A = this chain, B = another copy of it.
Amino acid sequence: MGAQQFVVAVAGATGAVGREMLKILEERDFPASKVIALASSRSAGSTVPFKNTELLVEELTEASFQGVDIALFSAGGSTSEKFAPYAAAAGCVVVDNSSAWRMDDRCPLVVPEVNPDDLDWHNGIIANPNCSTIQMVVALKPLHDAATITRVVVSTYQAVSGTGQKAIEELERQVRGLMGGQEVENKVYPHRIAFNVLPQIDVFLENEYTKEEMKMVHETKKIMGDDSIRVTATAVRVPVFFGHSESVNIETAKKLTAKEARAVLAQAPGVRVLDNPGEKIYPMPINAGGMDDTYVGRIREDDTIENGLNLWVVADNLRKGAALNAVQIAETLAARGLVRVQDRNVFETK
């Protein structure tokens, strides 16, 4: 008897994350009897590579999900808000990469290494967390289990690919221009990103934190299932193409030595410890590209508080931070027999 096969749709298939989703479905040999590429009318009719062929991109409509089992969405918040309910109403399970559904109580927010059991109560739409949150919780969950994290102070060093293909092109164009002695324009970011750092990711909120910073605060609590973890974040864009890095300071209820933290992390799913300062071995974005693991290094005790640790966390933001995590959610759904929407009326279609 063969394993069950699924009809899979990728909505937003022409974007940076959509293409990565197709690549990862292929790499991991996801049990798909058929893969459908969906995008806006603007991209419909183009093709995207998948296995040894090209998929013709179809227009994403309310009717796209008839007969589809799993839809991976990476088409932006408003597209997802509109179309994900139609998919769920059709019985298709959506794994959505936008921020539209993340804090919705009807939707689990899942990192398979951290809270796979939250998939059990899904209603057809499952949210994929923000990239910087995913890699942080993969590193923090095992430490939380071992010593109960009470506070997190995180500063990020985020790659431009997190913004999308146009931002990758902007960094490259600006670097080439500056190297040629030219003035350069910024279109994607509010300021130049080449040879600069921007202490702004996403828009500013009422409290003067950015939306990205508050995502790290709220999503961490929801994924870890613990509202008592206090998180404060500073999210910063750096002129790196691929790979987000994070400087993470944590306070725990129970003392954890650096050695103990290293041992806990060495056993943790999805984590790879790279921590040998004597040999200049630590995580870096240039080594994380194309990798599935979240890399943790520079693990050291912070003696300014009783139970403090500093960590340096790096991952491929397009893979673990987006496409890979979505595919891993789909795999977990498949393994647990959860690829069917029971109640198709939880989300309102409009």
Q: Does A285 contact B (CB under 8 A)?
A: yes
A residues contacting B by CB (< 8 A) are 151-153, 155, 157, 172, 175-176, 179, 190-192, 195-200, 204, 207-209, 230-232, 234, 236, 238-241, 245, 247, 249, 258, 277-278, 280, 282-286, 297-300, 302-305, 308, 310, 312
Q: What chain B residues lie within 8 Å of A176 (beta carbons)?
A: 179
Q: A281 to nearest B CB, angstroms?
A: 10
User: With contacts A175-B179, A247-B155 known, is A230 near B199, CB below 8 A?
Assistant: no
Question: Which residues on B sit within 8 Å (CB–CB) of A197?
Answer: 157, 238, 240, 245, 284-285
Q: Tell whether A286 pairs with B238 under 8 Å between CB atoms, given A175-B175, A175-B179, A277-B204.
A: no
Contact of A191 among B151, B198, B238, B284 (CB under 8 A): B284
Residues on B with C-beta less than 8 A from A241 are: 195
- A258 interface neighbour in B208, B234, B245, B302, Cβ under 8 Å: B208
Number of copies: 2
How would you classify the secondary structure of chain A's contact residues: helix, strand, loop or mixed? mixed
Distance of A152 from chain B, by nearest CB (Å): 8
Q: Which residues of B contact A204 (CB under 8 A)?
A: 277-278
Contact A157/B284 with A277-B200, A300-B209, A302-B232 known, Cβ cut-off 8 Å:
no
- CB-based contact A236/B230 at 8 Å: no
Name the B residues within 8 Å of A207 (CB-CB).
Answer: 300
Report A259 CB to chain B, min CB distance, Å.
11
CB distance from A350 to the nearest CB of B (A): 32
Give A176 to B280 CA distance when docked, in angstroms. Answer: 25
Contact A236 B157 (CB under 8 A): yes
CA distance A304 to B305 in the complex (A): 15
Of the candidates A176, A195, A240, A280, the one having the most CB atoms from chain B within 10 angstroms of its own CB is A195
CB closest chain-B residue, reference A203: B277
A286 lies within 8 A of B196 (CB):
yes
